[in-house]
Amino acid sequence: MHFQLPLAGPNGEHFDVATFLAKAGVGRRIIKLRPKQVFFSQGDAADSIFYLQSGRARLTVVSPDGKEATITLLSAGEFVGEEALASVGRLHLATASAITDCTALKIEREEMIRVMHQERALADLFVKFLLIRSMRTQADLVDQLFNSSERRLARILVLMAEFGEPGEPEPLIPAITQATLAEMVGTTRSRVSFFMNRFRKLGLIEYNGRIRVHKALLDLVLHDQFAGDNSERPSISAPQRSNPRRPTRGKPPAARGDM
């Protein structure tokens, strides 16, 4: 998710949003995280919002019985922890952690609210972010409800690849395990492994430690050229043969000599 950062303030005065989100200052500081380090954990007090300057991160939730699920991936140019702006005493409902090396601007709740009230450019940017996040969440829900596991996996790989301008090299996605992909798709790791092998045989992806997504997979997702739910399982090589002499359940076999 990327934004064109506006520069003008509410009355035409110069306010450089890019500079505000790039540098430390009053109520804001730059933090650096290594892979697997957390911005915040589920249940922590939501007193700050983060702007991801570089790197990739993810949001995860843990159920009361300890089951963890990845709910979204984050890329440079996105905010995370926006629930901090909703009300005082709010708690984070998920855990945000780094997938790759990350640099982020940590902005205190009061400072973010103050600047948004004073500078329409920042408020406009943040509202645009919220709308895009809402649309993506809705698309994720529709994907989960109506699409096959194979198509959901393909869509996630395409989103992680973030294809750019035509002619750019086909990108490597951040290092991610098949178990994490399974959490996001809502299926098992073995099913993800099966689909990944099929994508590779079809020339849609290649991987040797890191996954490279080809634009052919994007075309497949855009044109919905998947076989449907039946494609979620490998085809059976031969049907089981029925035994013609097996009697029908609940009905005694006919006596020899009956007409």
For residues 203 and 122, membership in a common domain is answered with no
Give the end of a domain, one of 100, 127, 145: 145
**CATH number of the domain bearing residue 155:** 1.10.10.10
SS3 21: helix
For residues 29 and 93, membership in a common domain is answered with yes
232 pLDDT more than 80: no
* H or E segment to which residue 79 belongs: strand 79-80
For residues 100 and 181, membership in a common domain is answered with no
Segment 71-100 shows an average pLDDT of 90
Enumerate residues 6+ apart whose C-beta is below 8 A from 14. Answer: 7, 8
The CA angle 210-215-219, to the nearest 5 degrees, is 135
Q: Is residue 247 part of a domain?
A: no
Give the end of a domain, one of 145, 168, 189: 145
Rg (CA), the chain: 25
Instruction: Provide the residue type at 49 as one letter.
Output: I
Q: Is residue 249 part of a domain?
A: no
The total number of structural domains in the chain stands at: 2
For residues 67 and 157, membership in a common domain is answered with no
**C-beta separation of 214 from 201 below 8 A:** no
Positive or negative, the Cα torsion across 21, 160, 153, 95? Answer: negative
Confidence of residue 208 (pLDDT cuts 50, 70, 90): confident
CA atoms within 13 A on the CB side of 208: 0
For residues 23 and 118, membership in a common domain is answered with yes
For residues 22 and 141, membership in a common domain is answered with yes
2 pLDDT more than 60: no
User: Highest mean pLDDT: which of 11-15, 46-50, 57-61?
Assistant: 46-50
Instruction: Provide the residue type at 181 as one letter.
Output: L
Strand-pairing partners, residue 105, are 30, 51
What per-residue confidence (pLDDT) applies to 158?
87
Structural domain of 213: 147-232
Q: Is residue 1 part of a domain?
A: no
Other Cβ atoms less than 10 A from the Cβ of 29: the count is: 14
For residues 139 and 164, membership in a common domain is answered with no
Q: What is the pLDDT of residues 102-159, one digit of tens each?
A: 999 999 999 999 999 999 999 999 999 999 988 988 888 887 788 889 988 998 898 8
Other Cβ atoms less than 10 A from the Cβ of 120: the count is: 16
CA dist., res. 206 & res. 211, Å (int): 6
CA dist., res. 75 & res. 2, Å (int): 9
Q: Is residue 248 part of a domain?
A: no
What per-residue confidence (pLDDT) applies to 28?
96
**CATH number of the domain bearing residue 65:** 2.60.120.10
Segment 33-42 shows an average pLDDT of 95
Segment 192-205 shows an average pLDDT of 93
For residues 206 and 133, membership in a common domain is answered with no
Concatenate the DSSP letters of all residues of 169-219 into one string: PPPBPPP--HHHHHHHHTS-HHHHHHHHHHHHHTTSEEESSSEEE-HHHHH
For residues 73 and 130, membership in a common domain is answered with yes
What per-residue confidence (pLDDT) applies to 255?
42
What per-residue confidence (pLDDT) applies to 235?
36
**C-beta separation of 104 from 39 below 8 A:** yes
Q: Is residue 11 part of a domain?
A: no
Other Cβ atoms less than 10 A from the Cβ of 231: the count is: 15
First-residue to last-residue Cα distance in the chain: 76
Task: Report the candidate in 205, 218, 216, 221 with the shortest Cα–Cα distance to residue 172.
Answer: 205
For residues 130 and 217, membership in a common domain is answered with no
What per-residue confidence (pLDDT) applies to 13?
56
The better pLDDT of the pair 24, 89 is held by: 24
The better pLDDT of the pair 216, 235 is held by: 216
Q: Is residue 107 part of a domain?
A: yes
For residues 27 and 60, membership in a common domain is answered with yes
Strands (E) across the chain are located at 28-33, 38-40, 48-54, 56-62, 68-75, 79-80, 95-98, 102-108, 205-207, 211-213
* Torsion region of 202: left, alpha or beta (phi above 0 gives left; psi -120 to 50 gives alpha): alpha
For residues 35 and 138, membership in a common domain is answered with yes
Segment 207-234 shows an average pLDDT of 71
Q: Is residue 10 part of a domain?
A: no
Q: Is residue 96 part of a domain?
A: yes
